[in-house]
């Protein structure tokens, strides 16, 4: 028997994951991002296969990860977390630059960035786990990273359907 409440004790941060394909940029918010090794530094991310960012990473093998600052507001979070880049320009109203690899780096409400080259993928059914080597990093500003707990308990944020932590509310 699985008591789903046990899974809510897992701790998560919230991150912007960005990618580029054929000169087009996209990014999304993900909470399943973690460092898996220190030497060499490797990061793993789990993304829903229906996301545009997933498609870009699958094709190019490159992504950028950015911890979100705790002071980020819900408008900023909604822009990257509840809209799809398939029909919306998430970068129209945010300050950003491109990394040497052409990856989008959001310059507001983020603490740092890490450019990652994928060297392994694992099919998880609805999601893909991308594991990659960190190639470049930079600190944008000092601050506290936004945690999923703070997002849900303090900001009263919701969980998008494609998130690894989404659970269907079957009570009506």
Integer angstrom CA distances of residue 15 from 2, 21, 22, 147: 28, 20, 23, 9
pLDDT band at 161; cut points 50, 70, 90: very low
pLDDT band at 159; cut points 50, 70, 90: low
**What are 41-65's pLDDT values in tens digits?**
999 999 999 999 999 999 999 999 9
Mean pLDDT calculated for residue range 122-133: 97
User: Does 4 have pLDDT greater than 80?
Assistant: no
Report pTM: 0.87
CATH for 15-153 is 2.30.110.10
Could you tell me where the DSSP H helices lie in 21-92? Answer: 52-60, 74-81
| In contact, 69 and 63? CB cutoff 8 Å | no
15 CB-near residues (< 8 Å, 6+ apart): 29, 30, 31, 33, 45, 65, 66, 67, 68
| Average pLDDT along the chain | 88
Indicate the domain borders of the chain: 15-153
């Amino acid at each position: 028997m699985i008591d789903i409440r046990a899974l809510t004790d897992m701790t998560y941060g919230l991150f912007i994951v960005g990618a580029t394909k054929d000169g087009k940029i996209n990014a999304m918010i993900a909470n399943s991002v973690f460092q898996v090794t220190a030497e060499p530094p490797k990061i793993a991310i789990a993304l829903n296969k229906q996301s545009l960012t997933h498609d870009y990473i699958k094709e190019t093998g490159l992504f950028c990860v950015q911890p979100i600052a705790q002071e980020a507001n819900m408008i900023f979070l909604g822009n990257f977390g509840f809209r799809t880049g398939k029909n919306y320009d998430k970068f129209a109203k945010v300050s950003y630059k491109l990394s040497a690899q052409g990856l989008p780096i959001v310059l507001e409400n983020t603490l740092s960035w890490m450019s990652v080259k994928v060297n392994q993928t694992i099919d998880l059914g609805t999601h893909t786990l991308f594991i990659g080597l960190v190639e470049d990093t930079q600190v944008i500003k000092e601050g506290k990273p936004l945690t999923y707990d703070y997002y849900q308990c303090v900001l009263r944020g919701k969980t998008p359907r494609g998130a690894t932590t989404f659970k269907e509310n079957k009570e009506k």
